[in-house]
Amino acid sequence: MESIELIRTNLTRSEDIVLSRIEDMRDYALVAPTPNGGCHTLWVLGHLAYIESLVIHAFMEGESNPLAAWEETFDGEEVSQDIDQFPSFDEVLAECRAARVRTVRLLDSMTEEDLDREARSTPEAAAHLFGTYRQCFQAVADHGYMHRGHLADSRRAAGLERAWY
């Protein structure tokens, strides 16, 4: 198997697993994972969409992030618990799904050799993480898994049973 196939599988699998957990929390989207607040489900969803667009469009392709307006809300220093600070759950979910469709479509247009190309606009301090197209795609696939703990803690705080999928 070439790594491009593994990356494609990882992108699909992470979307399926993470977004199913997020959708299951729709009615509890602002339940904080800790008594002191933290990264609730709606924030995680928007953060995933924002970062995917940042990594693929800005870092990798050298373009502007189509979700740049979301930076303060979904990648700022504080996670707000105020529903009025967020787009609707459905809007954020649609943007997250659209970002993944664009990412997979771009990956599908490439060859294994294309993945070794240098990312066009990665910040120097992050080059070890996002220096090549391959690294950018894989980081996007991994990112949702990195936030599963927030989702599990929010689920627990909402009084829901543990998700085993």
User: CB neighbours (10 Å) of residue 163?
Assistant: 14
**pLDDT value of residue 51:** 98
Task: Kindly state the average pLDDT of the residues 104-130.
Answer: 97
**pLDDT value of residue 32:** 94
Which option is the CATH number for 3-157: 1.20.120.450, 3.30.70.360, 3.20.20.10, 2.30.30.100?
Answer: 1.20.120.450
Confidence of residue 162 (pLDDT cuts 50, 70, 90): confident
**pLDDT value of residue 22:** 96
Could you read off the pLDDT of 1-25 as tens digits, one per residue? 899 999 999 999 999 999 999 999 9
Q: What is the reported pTM?
A: 0.95
The residues spanned by each domain of the chain are 3-157
**pLDDT value of residue 104:** 98
Could you read off the pLDDT of 46-91 as tens digits, one per residue? 999 999 999 999 999 999 999 999 999 999 999 999 999 999 999 9
